[in-house]
Structure formats: structure tokens, C-alpha cells
Amino acid sequence: MKKLFDNKNYVVTSGWWCGKVDDEKRVRYGSESIREVSFFSKWKESVLNNTTPRKIMVFDSASPVKPDNSQLNGIEFLSLVNNPGHSTNHNGHYSGYTRSVLMGITYAAMCDADYWVYVEQDVLLNGNGIIEHCIEHMTTPYMFGSGEGTPQFLQQSLIIIRKDGFFPFLEKMNKIKSRDKEISPESKFLIATSPFFRFIPELCYRAITKKNLLGKLTRKFISLSLETFKGYDELPIGYGRTRPINFSRQYYYFQHGTEDELNLHYEQLISNAKY
């Protein structure tokens, strides 16, 4: 029996792209199945079984392969004219990922939602009421995954933003002059949510991407200052890209799942359903 929660007024959005990757040098993590169109059904099932959104909206970066009508039943699906590309190699100011985030927040605001929730297209959730559980732990308008165990300061495959953070976040993001391939979206989110980290010149953040001496010094400084000056909460659950995953936990989320991890996740779901 599902646990009853005080349902919050939120929308869930995501991005979408599926097709042949032109940049063969880009490292691809996890099972190839998470990049196939069939995985969309598993993503949708995971969202519907564990969350209670007022709406689900998916922003498509002009993907050559899209979910079919049956998969999209009950989901708003909006496509861009062209594919902007990945954050490491994109056209225009923003990558496809960042555009899906900015459009998602705007959509949530126009829906008069109290919260915007982003669930990346390769993420699976576990635990009915997982979003409500996270919201109960919010002390700021922003909540991202911990960057511990990853190359970034924070993780952004599961995000929650409260309505009082919608327009301030959009405003601060639009003030960042550097493109995504110059300053990573993760670093941009850090800048947009913290007055302290906005004082660091963009040149320093661009140096992090270039991995030069200034970048190394900037990364070290931010890492030492992060706990004190970050302007967001960390999700009270694991794991995103962090490993290992404890599949017996009541609440968790993960992306870049390997075949073994996907199997363990579904085995745990079957086991839980028996009780």
C-alpha cells in the first residue's frame, strides 16, 4: 500500500535527446539501454510511481528519435527547432540541457506551481513520496544533488526549486556571459544561487574548464568554501552519479545506470512489491 503524503503543487520536467552521437570522443557512462527510446517508458513509469506532479513536461532538443504517442500519453512534449548540442560542444549561448532547465522553470512559473522538479531523462527514482520527502528538508529555494564523488561541485540530474527562486535563478543565469562550454552548467548553478560565488570573476570559472593552474586554484578555493557559502540545500538522498548505490534505501535516485545496477534496482522493486 502506498504511503499517503500531503501532496505538493509541483510540475516535473525533463530534457530529451536520442540518436547517434557525432562526438565519438565523449565518454558515455552506463548501459547503452538508458540512451534508447525504450528507456523513456521506464523513466515515465518511475516518475508516475514515485511522484505526484500536476504536470509532466519534456523539452526535446530536436531529437531525430522521439518517444511514440503511447509513451507520450499524459505528457506535454515540446520540441526546439534545432539541436543546440551537449554542454561540452554546443551552438549558441546555452546547451540543450541548460535550455531544458530554463524552459522548465519558466513552465513551472506559468503553471503557478509552488515547486519545479527536474528529473534527467536517464534517471530512475525509488520511493513513493520521494519529492515530498526532499521538500521537507528544504531551507533555501534551491536543492541540488551533492557533488561528492563526482568531478563537479554539485549534481543536477534531480533538482528542486521553490517558486520564490524561479525568477531570481533565471535572472542570475541570464547574467552569466560565458557559454556552457566555457563555464559548466554545474558551476553556473553555483553562481546563480550564491551571492558569494558570484563575486568570483567568470575568468576563474572558465579556467576550471581549461584545467590550468588558475582553474586548479579556483577549484580548490571553491571546494574549501562550498559548505559555508553555497546558496542551496543538498538532496537528503543519494545518489545521482555517486557510487556505490544502496538499493535497500527507502529513497534514492540514480543516473548512468549500468546493466547490473538496473537489474538490482528492478529486483529490489519486485522484492518490495511482495510485502
Percentage above 70 pLDDT, the chain: 96
Asked whether residue 83 carries a pLDDT value surpassing 70, the answer given is yes
- The CATH fold of domain 10-273: Spore Coat Polysaccharide Biosynthesis Protein SpsA; Chain A (3.90.550)
Task: Provide the whole-model pTM.
Answer: 0.95
- Rounded Cα distance between 261 and 264, Å, is 5
Estimate to the nearest angstrom the gap between the alpha carbon of 234 and the chain centroid.
13
- pLDDT of 1: 34
Dihedral sign for Cα atoms in the order 31, 67, 238, 87: positive
- Rounded Cα distance between 193 and 172, Å, is 8
- pLDDT of 24: 60
The stretch 33-42 carries a mean pLDDT of 97
Could you tell me which of 230, 239, 3, 273 has the C-alpha nearest to residue 132?
3
Could you tell me which of 271, 238, 230, 274 has the C-alpha nearest to residue 254?
238
- pLDDT of 80: 96
The grid cell for 219 is: 577549484
Cα separation values, 127 from 26, 49, 87, 143, 252, Å: 32, 8, 30, 18, 7
Q: What share of the chain is helix, strand, coil (3-state, %, to 5)?
A: 40, 20, 45
- CB half-sphere exposure, 178, CA atoms < 13 A: 22
How many other β-carbons are positioned within 10 Å of the β-carbon of residue 240?
A: 28
147-190: per-residue pLDDT in tens?
A: 999 999 999 999 999 999 999 999 999 999 999 999 999 999 99
- pLDDT of 27: 76
- pLDDT of 3: 47
Kindly give the interhelix angle for 96-110 and 166-175, rounded to the nearest 10 degrees.
Answer: 150
Could you tell me which of 156, 85, 83 has the C-alpha nearest to residue 116?
156
Cα separation values, 105 from 83, 193, 204, Å: 20, 14, 27
Indicate the DSSP class of residue 169: H
Cα separation values, 3 from 110, 113, 160, 251, 254, Å: 30, 23, 21, 13, 22
